[in-house]
Amino acid sequence: MSDHSSSDTPTLACPTCKKPIEWSEKYPHRPFCSERCKLIDLGEWASEGHKIPGQPVYDDVLSDDLDPTKTRH
């Protein structure tokens, strides 16, 4: 009765290239099959985030203007 390492390793598809991988130490970049796919996915996510119109500069100006420690008398 040695139930040590069963062959029931969960498998999943790499989100980037859909290649089937095992959820094990064989794939340190899981759920991606490789670091390359991981970077590709992160890159797409970042470029998509770029499209969202944020207002970081405007917000920075506002908070700077409202900062009481910077408006000295």
Q: Which residues are annotated as a binding site for Zn(2+)?
A: 14, 17, 33, 37
For Zn ion, the closer of residues 36 and 59 by Cβ is 36
Q: Determine, following the binding rule CB under 5 A, whether residue 38 of this chain makes contact with Zn ion.
A: no
Q: Which residues are annotated as a binding site?
A: 14, 17, 33, 37
β-strand pairing of 11-13 with 20-22: antiparallel
Verify cis geometry, omega within 30 degrees of 0, for the bond prior to 31: yes
Applying CB under 5 A, which of residues 1, 3, 5, 14 lies at the interface with Zn ion?
14
We find the least distance from the C-beta atom of residue 71 to Zn ion, in angstroms, to be 53
DSSP 8-state class, residue 56: H
CA angle 31, 11, 42 (to 5 degrees): 15
Footprint of Zn ion (CB under 5 A): 14, 16-17, 19, 33, 37
